[in-house]
Amino acid sequence: MNNQRRRFIKSSALGAAGISLIPSFVLGNQTGHIAPSEKVNLACCGIGHRGGEVVKSLHATGLANVVALCDVDMGAEHTVEVMKMFPDVPRFKDFREMFDKMGKDIEAVSVGTPDFSHFPITMLAMSMGIHVYVEKPMARTFNEVQLMMDGAKKHNVVTQMGNQGHSEANYFQFKAWKEAGIIKDVTAMTAHMNGRRRWHGWDPKIISFPPKQPIPTTMDWDTWLGTSHHHDYHEDLVNGQWRCWYDFGMGALGDWGAHIMDTAHEFLELGLPEEIVPLKLEDHNTFFFPMETTLAFKFPKRGDMPAMTITWYDGQNNIPPVPAGYGVSELDPNIPPPSNGQLQPAKLNPGKIIYGGDLTFKGGSHGSTLSIIPEEKAKDMAGQLPEVPESPSNHFANFLKACKGEEKARSSFDIAGPLSQVFSLGVLSQRLGAKLEFDRETKQVTNHALANELLAGVPPRKGWEEFYKL
């Protein structure tokens, strides 16, 4: 993409929405070959584990020109595959150095780093006019997500959160069924992730963080810590283990919620809850997430849609009740495996049950489509179901095409932000073991002073305050 065209897209109101009315012949070669000038110059932050999968998926679209690689553990075993894919691309361990030296050559960035580090990378990139693809959830705290949403508007950039289901069959089916009145009068939904908690088996009676270990020679530990206050290095804090520590991750809810609750949240226009009630917190402690959690998120009436409760279940034995005629729980083959291997068999695979006024639906995770249950009812309804359009692009191509002004990003921060804030509120309820009452207008917790303060989290580590002012 040449600089003149990039400036045009950024300066136009349509560009802000990710939509272009530029004739196709202006956008480049139509023979199927994409000229280098028509690719998006992409920097990649986090190139191992899930971050590496994101890099490979963006590259596979043929729409990206990878110009920089950044990873605090560059050279570690899990980064080698992507390093070999791009042997001549500049490498960095500190995203600040990368943007300082190469910002003028970067048009978009992928952020596939731990949850707590999404915020500073994203805020710096957006302040420089760089488009951002960030893994889910957007950030760790409620206010960080708010600042990211505000920053996307302020800096007029394209954004996409990495919940791939927003570009797969479930997204288009849910939209079509809602618009056709098939999904209506929904009052309840269960969302569940009951596979083995694949990232730890630690003692919930711990009284301190794990003891200090030698920092690997490949790792820039200070940059890994980012905005977080100091922790001694330990292997149980990194490489996926970070997900379950309150200081770094968002637990099973943040990890899977965006793949299970996303379409219901968007198309049922749920916004933010007015109440979060912890119904079960097994092995609750102050360091990492409970081994089993049940949370009720209560949403008020919206227009002609009734009040609705989403009940979240996680934990290997914390299985939600299923209605008669539920049938078989199938696992979506498109779900990316965790970095340590395949998903283990579960008593109930990740998914959801949606209770409408006349119909009940079951669905899986990611792009899995909904089914009407029981099967007899599904057969009765077969002739009334609307045609579901196919996705024009996968989630990665959708982002890059939005950067080029050819499509609208389907999980932009204005869509993904409130969903991420739902998870932030849920995590606060888990961490404090408390029912939270939330004012959707003022965006304040009204019944718990500490929870209200923690909407912003603890102040960032010295030297990292600037990212909250961009």
pLDDT digits (tens, 9 = 90+) for 206-249: 999 999 999 999 999 999 999 999 999 999 999 989 999 999 99
Q: What are phi and psi of 453, to 5 degrees?
A: -65, -35
DSSP string, 281-339: EET--SSB--SEEEEEEEE--BTTBPPEEEEEEESTT-PPP--TT----PPPTTSPPPT
**Mean pLDDT, all residues of the chain:** 90
**What's the predicted TM-score (pTM) here?**
0.90
Instruction: Look at residue 333 in the predicted model and tell me its pLDDT.
Output: 65
Same domain for 409 and 424, yes or no, is no
Same domain for 252 and 264, yes or no, is yes
Q: Which residues of 403-430 are buried (b: 16+ CB within 10 A; e: fewer)?
A: bbbbbebbbbbebbbbbbbbbbbbbbbb
DSSP 39: S
Instruction: Look at residue 364 in the predicted model and tell me its pLDDT.
Output: 93
Same domain for 330 and 424, yes or no, is yes
Residue 466 lies in a domain: no
Residue 367: which CATH number? 3.30.360
**How many structural domains compose the chain?**
2
- Segment 265-294, tens digit of pLDDT: 999 999 999 999 999 999 999 999 999 999
The residue type found at 337 is P
Residue 109 lies in a domain: yes
Same domain for 145 and 34, yes or no, is yes
Instruction: Look at residue 343 in the predicted model and tell me its pLDDT.
Output: 53
Give pairs for 405-408: CB < 8 Å, separation 24+. 405/5, 405/8, 405/9, 405/14, 405/15, 405/18, 405/19, 405/20, 405/22, 405/27, 406/20, 406/27, 407/18, 407/19, 408/17, 408/18, 408/19
DSSP 38: G
In this predicted structure, the answer to whether residue 258 has a pLDDT above a threshold of 90 is yes
Residue pair 464/314 in contact (Cβ under 8 Å)? The answer is no
Same domain for 408 and 425, yes or no, is no
Same domain for 263 and 292, yes or no, is yes
**What average pLDDT does range 253-266 have in this prediction?**
96
Place of tokens 């609208």: 408
Q: What are phi and psi of 287, to 5 degrees?
A: -105, -50
Query: Residue 466 CA to chain centroid, in angstroms?
Result: 24
Instruction: Look at residue 277 in the predicted model and tell me its pLDDT.
Output: 98
Same domain for 216 and 254, yes or no, is yes
Question: Which residues contact residue 351 at a Cβ distance below 8 angstroms, ignoring those fewer than 6 apart?
Answer: 191, 192, 260, 329, 362, 363, 364, 365, 368
Instruction: Look at residue 120 in the predicted model and tell me its pLDDT.
Output: 98
Largest CA distance in the chain: 64
Same domain for 153 and 195, yes or no, is no
Residue 434 lies in a domain: yes
Length of the chain: 470
Place of tokens 């309820």: 429
Question: Which residues contact residue 90 at a Cβ distance below 8 angstroms, ignoring those fewer than 6 apart?
Answer: 67, 68, 69, 98, 101, 102
Query: Which residue segment(s) compose the domain that 131 sits in?
Result: 3-164+397-414
Same domain for 440 and 308, yes or no, is yes
- Segment 140-153, tens digit of pLDDT: 999 999 999 999 99
Q: How confident is the model at residue 194 (pLDDT cuts 50, 70, 90)?
A: confident
Same domain for 107 and 126, yes or no, is yes
Q: How confident is the model at residue 195 (pLDDT cuts 50, 70, 90)?
A: confident
Same domain for 88 and 52, yes or no, is yes
Q: How confident is the model at residue 10 (pLDDT cuts 50, 70, 90)?
A: very low
Same domain for 309 and 298, yes or no, is yes
In this predicted structure, the answer to whether residue 21 has a pLDDT above a threshold of 90 is no
- Segment 181-193, tens digit of pLDDT: 999 999 999 999 9
Instruction: Look at residue 316 in the predicted model and tell me its pLDDT.
Output: 87
CA atoms of 423 and 420, how far apart (whole Å): 5
